[in-house]
Amino acid sequence: MKRIALALVLITTAVSAADKKILIQHTGRQSWVSDAAALASYRAAAGSGADIVVARTAEEFAREVPSADGIIGGVSKELYPQAKKLKWVQTISAGVEQFSFWPEFVNSPVTLTNCKVVQGPTIADHAFAMLLALTRGLNFYIPNRVKKEWGGRGEGPTGMTELPGMTAVIIGAGGIGTQIAQRAHGFGMKVIGVDPEPIPVSNYFSQIVPPDRLNEVLPQADVVFVSAPLTPKSEHMIAGPQFDAMKKGAYFVAVSRGRLYEKAALVKALDSKKLAGAGLDVTDPEPLPPGDSLWNFDNVVITPHVASAAEGSNQRRVGVISENIRRFAKGEPLINVVNKAKGY
């Protein structure tokens, strides 16, 4: 009888140990978040403190939401009312705008964490790839391969230039913006940051100003990088007056969210030749429709929101998610906690 009682105690303990359920929705578009290696990392991190449940279809996900304590990825407004046990949501990106414009979630006790900082190196590389494509005329020369034309200097684009001595204004001096600043500094550029937080000046930033001083520093910019999160306060913060404040011949590179800038104002600045060119990994809307006027400019480089795509970036994001799973399973404080009221 003692052995039976002991066995029952052990079984009960084993069952109650994993009293938390963490739900992950598998998607083909972001398969790295739930591939075999990622799931092995999550389960090792959870140990006996939480069960990792993978939903392979939208129907499975909807069925599992009511009993989920944590969700990796996100939850829709339609399913959220059913998530009665939900305590934690971990996004797989740095941006959390899908929650920032949602008062019911912002005012809820659910903890929100993101993958800030870890995507910074990859996105910063992409930002400079776009800038260099424009300053070195690659947007003009790359299509020559298809036409099998050599093309000479005399036929190339005018205004090819170099980066040393330029001034970069980086809107959003957080994890991504700091990585952009490091690269800009390495190229011999002066760097000015714009951020609502009191970020101290570093070796990379010569100056950091709050958003209400944006128009003061824009006239100094040879290139403007947009790496700020999308929040109710930052939406369309770069509009007609801001493009007007930029110097003639400046470059504009956006790698965070398309709704930070007004597309019509950008088109006007390009059409009037106020800007030398633009690099856009993010637009509004996405995908950019075939008939959109941005496709008409030879000096605009457009990529389909892929700046964070890299094996290293994905591995670092899995590392953040795994660490938070470990902490959640053990009841420890989470990392990368988002201030839901601020949106970052």
Find the DSSP H helices in 30-117.
Answer: 36-46, 58-64, 97-100, 103-106
Convert the pLDDT of each residue in 212-258 to its tens digit: 999 999 999 999 999 999 999 999 999 999 999 999 999 999 999 99
d(CA 51, CA 42): 10
d(CA 39, CA 24): 9
As given in the structure block, the two tokens for residue 281 are 């990994």
Q: What is the mean pLDDT of residues 7-31?
A: 64
Convert the pLDDT of each residue in 68-100 to its tens digit: 999 999 999 999 999 999 999 999 999 999 999
Question: What positions carry a catalytic annotation?
Answer: 257, 286, 305
As given in the structure block, the two tokens for residue 101 are 């414009």
d(CA 115, CA 253): 22
For residue 4, the model assigns a pLDDT of 38
| Maximum separation of any 2 CA atoms in the chain, in Å | 95
d(CA 207, CA 212): 14
**Within a domain: residue 343?**
no
Whether residues 219 and 290 share a domain: the answer is yes
Convert the pLDDT of each residue in 113-144 to its tens digit: 999 999 999 999 999 999 999 999 999 999 99
**Is 11 a residue whose pLDDT tops 60?**
no
Whether residues 112 and 174 share a domain: the answer is no
C-alpha of 240 from chain center: 25
For residue 156, the model assigns a pLDDT of 75
**Is 294 a residue whose pLDDT tops 60?**
yes
**Is 53 a residue whose pLDDT tops 50?**
yes
For strand 190-194 and strand 300-302, is the pairing parallel, antiparallel, or unpaired?
unpaired
Whether residues 29 and 60 share a domain: the answer is yes
Question: Residue 287: is the preceding peptide bond cis (ω within 30°)?
Answer: yes
Whether residues 90 and 18 share a domain: the answer is yes
Whether residues 50 and 83 share a domain: the answer is yes
- How many domains, in total, are found in the chain? 2
Q: To the nearest 10°, report the CA torsion of 42, 255, 172, 178.
A: 70
**Sheet of 70-72, strands arranged across:** 51-55, 21-25, 70-72, 88-90, 111-113
- Structural domain containing residue 37: 2-117+311-330
Whether residues 173 and 106 share a domain: the answer is no
Convert the pLDDT of each residue in 252-269 to its tens digit: 999 999 999 999 999 999
**Within a domain: residue 336?**
no
Q: Residue 180: which H helix or E strand, with range?
A: helix 175-186
Whether residues 83 and 149 share a domain: the answer is no
Whether residues 56 and 99 share a domain: the answer is yes
Q: How confident is the model at residue 6 (pLDDT cuts 50, 70, 90)?
A: very low
Residue 141: give its domain's CATH number. 3.40.50.720
